[in-house]
Structure 1
Amino acid sequence: MSSRFEDIEVGQRWTSPGRTLTEADLTLACMTSGDWHPIHADAEFAGRSLAGQRIFQGTYGLHVAMAMATPFPDLGADVIGALGLSDWHYAAPLCIGDTVHVEVEIAAKRTTSRPGRGVVERRITLKKADGSVAQQGTAQMMARCAEEAA
């Protein structure tokens, strides 16, 4: 069931279900990005790296985090679009077999100078199953809201 902009409160939190990253995910990330660096694609090379194994491109974690955070809050058809990201950090590498989930918190919300539109700022944290933070940052989106009283 969809929420409305007016129902969202700063401080609200959600946690997504988990998702395990697979070999197919890493192959798809390499194929769609064109980034075949040996740290992603060569098990022998990556085995000698600090991580000791192949790791995902940092942007793949961002891709997964944004997808997992989509329903939080569920604004349905009221979402106008994404406005951007800020302060996104890669805290730990993501590897094949890692199970991840996102934690989403409403950091801020405001109406815009254009009636009927509001901005929601979400703090999104991509965590591994052991509770460690893999990536974290803030995402802003615009949504329809009730017209302000004249």
Structure 2
Amino acid sequence: MTKKGTLLGRGLYFDDLAVGSWFHTAGRTITAADLSAFVNLTWLTEELFTNDADRDDMAIRERVVPAALVYSFAEGLLTPFMQGTGLAFLHADLDVKGPTLVGDTIHIECEVSELRAASKGHRGLVRCTSRVLTQRGDTVLIYTPLRLMRRRPQ
């Protein structure tokens, strides 16, 4: 016989949130291997990301990573927030504020800005303002996803 207890590793439900709720994620350092794998996977072969020999001719001399990688890692860092409770990613506005470099450690500060019950009663719409920051405290990306999330079972 298996004992039933609290299931760990589940995300927040729609009902657990309030406008103004705020949380932050753990950090994640972006490595040269991450950049290489992402560029090869996505075919983002812009020399800004792939050419180390001619850095003196580029506007940014450090190794820059694509904003798409930063966004992807941000979503990964937010996964625990919606593990098992997130149903759909519906929309987002995204604004790149500055470069992210190989060796930067990012984390996300997230604030709930909108909550609406969905037409089906067991779901709700959640919009957050997600700020991606580096270890220096620089905001490098802001996006505002609208997600469909489960409501807490009755």
Equivalent position of 1:65 in the other structure? 74
Deviation at 1:49, TM superposition (A): 1.3
1:105 and 1:69 map into 2 onto residues whose CA distance is: 12
Equivalent position of 1:84 in the other structure? 91
The two structures, once aligned, show a CA RMSD in angstroms of 1.8
Q: Report Cα offsets for 1:86-128 as digits up to 9, x if no partner.
A: 2x11111111111111111111111012222211111111101
Residue correspondence of structure 1 range 1-150 to structure 2 within 5 A: 1=8, 2=10, 3-72=12-81, 75-86=82-93, 88-145=94-151
Deviation at 1:48, TM superposition (A): 2.4
**Pairs aligned (count):** 145
Q: Is the 8 A contact 1:38 1:46 kept in 2?
A: no
Structure 1: segments with no counterpart, 5+ residues: none
Letter in 2 for 1:103: E
1:45 and 1:85 map into 2 onto residues whose CA distance is: 35
2:56 and 2:36 map into 1 onto residues whose CA distance is: 17
Instruction: Give the TM-score, by structure 1 length.
Output: 0.88
Structure 1: 4+ residue segments shifted above 6 A = none
Instruction: Give the TM-score, by structure 2 length.
Output: 0.85
Judge which range, 52-61 or 26-35, deviates more: 52-61
1:46 and 1:125 map into 2 onto residues whose CA distance is: 29
Q: Is the 8 A contact 1:55 1:93 kept in 2?
A: yes
State percent identity of aligned pairs. Answer: 22
Deviation at 1:40, TM superposition (A): 0.3
